[in-house]
Structure 1
Amino acid sequence: MSYFDFNDANEQSSFDLIPKGTLVRVRMTIRPGGFDDASQGWTGGYATRNDNTGSVYLNCEFVVMEGEYARRKMWSLIGLHSPKGPEWANMGRAFVKAILNSARGVHPGDASPQAQNARRIAGFADLDGIEFLGKVDWEKDQNGQDKAVIKQAIQPDHKDYAALMGAARAPVPSTTTPNAYAQATGRAPVTGRPSWAQ
């Protein structure tokens, strides 16, 4: 009789939920649902339609990129349409806008042409694989058990954004006009954190 020896196996990993409110850098991937509606701009098979409710959404997976919870996964839906009204789709649009601001280092109050362009995508493929800073929340799954989800993106106006996203993604002032110091002294503009990030 032969035996399988498990004495040298690794210890079990803990699967405690990531605490509510934890800020984590995540990579979002979309699990394609195969539903397209070109009139809405939903192409490429990314959207999912629930045949029972008629709702349409992006079925998203979020993988933590680094830190204590690296490689942990969470799943959330981003609403595109609900027969009950526009609220779910509006919440989905607001979430995608915040994801783009977070991923591309754009302050939510920035209305410059560059910022507006950064909030545009050609299609859902542009969101597949995007990295941003997310806030962990909990909600109940279909069995009534708590599960960790990402429902909010942390944008550059948050005090911890630059530290957690890394200096390479820190927002830069959108204006190139010299500041008052440079105009008064004729010296190079003083650079640094924009006034809203102080």
Structure 2
Amino acid sequence: MTTWNDFNSAEDQNNFDVIPKGTLVKVRMTIRPGGYDDASQGWTGGYATQSMTTGSVYLNCEFVVLDGPYAKRKMWSLIGLHSPKGPEWANMGRAFVKGILNSSRGLHPQDNSPQAQQARRIQGFADLDGIEFVAKVEMDKDQNGDDKNVVKTAITPDNKAYAGIAGEPTQASASVQQSSPAQSTSTAPTGRPSWAQ
């Protein structure tokens, strides 16, 4: 019988070591909504967060490792959307999202075909919430100065390790790879967003 006054029989806490820097893992990204919208920027749905101290705007993201020895491990990172200090943080955020889309949809970064260009468009941040891609694990320091894992880089099909980690392409990338320009204009409704057809 479990009692709430004797903890001798309770399991020990899990004390996870950090995932080694540079490890490639398949992750699912979820966005923790911050309630900040700016329709003129296309930031709708309450996904963005604005810092009350700096005024910067970002996506607050959680990444869960999907398989392998680190399955179910979680990492947290921010994707920059705007900084009052200048465009650099937003440019890094846009590059990261482009990498996520390339990784998730099996697109080579140099593929500029009409299908690839369409697959790099999103209707809104909701399209990124729950997206799966191959990520490179990196290190940062937490508020106590201890090492913590973060995700800042998506691995794309031009990386030789990508195919072994990515597994089967997502439905969106499969439809992009299999469609020709003639087919892409006359696809039947599939229940997928227009960018994924």
TM-score of the two chains, using structure 2 as the length reference = 0.82
Partners of 1:5 and 1:122 lie apart in 2 by: 50
Partners of 2:136 and 2:86 lie apart in 1 by: 26
Q: Sort the Cα spacing of 1:34 and 1:175 in 2 relative to 1 into closer, same or farther, 3 A.
A: closer
Partners of 1:159 and 1:173 lie apart in 2 by: 19
Partners of 2:179 and 2:77 lie apart in 1 by: 36
What is the deviation of 1:54?
0.7
What is the deviation of 1:103?
0.2
Equivalent residues of 1:112, 1:174 under 8 A apart: no
Equivalent residues of 1:114, 1:174 under 8 A apart: no
Of 161-170 and 134-143, more deviation after overlay is shown by: 161-170
| Residue of structure 2 in register with 1:15 after alignment | 16
| Residue of structure 2 in register with 1:153 after alignment | 154
What is the deviation of 1:141?
1.6
| Residue of structure 1 in register with 2:110 after alignment | 109
Q: Sort the Cα spacing of 1:107 and 1:33 in 2 relative to 1 into closer, same or farther, 3 A.
A: same
Partners of 1:5 and 1:147 lie apart in 2 by: 29
Partners of 2:22 and 2:57 lie apart in 1 by: 27
Within 5 Å, give how 1:57-72 maps onto structure 2: 57-72=58-73
**How many pairs does the alignment contain?**
175
1:34-86 CA-partner distances (Å, limit 9, x unpaired): 00000110000000000110100000000000010110000000000000000
| Residue of structure 2 in register with 1:164 after alignment | 165
What is the deviation of 1:30?
0.2
1:98-119 CA-partner distances (Å, limit 9, x unpaired): 0000000000010000100110
Partners of 2:109 and 2:50 lie apart in 1 by: 30
Partners of 1:21 and 1:132 lie apart in 2 by: 15
| Residue of structure 2 in register with 1:26 after alignment | 27
Partners of 2:81 and 2:145 lie apart in 1 by: 25
1:166-195 CA-partner distances (Å, limit 9, x unpaired): 14458886797xxxxxxxxxxxxxxxxxxx
Within 5 Å, give how 1:63-142 maps onto structure 2: 63-142=64-143
One-letter amino acid matched to 2:74: K
Equivalent residues of 2:106, 2:169 under 8 A apart: no
Identity of aligned residues (%): 70
Partners of 2:12 and 2:143 lie apart in 1 by: 29
One-letter amino acid matched to 2:66: M
Q: Which one has a bigger Cα radius of gyration?
A: 1
| Residue of structure 2 in register with 1:49 after alignment | 50
Unaligned runs of 5+ in 2: 181-197
Equivalent residues of 2:34, 2:46 under 8 A apart: yes
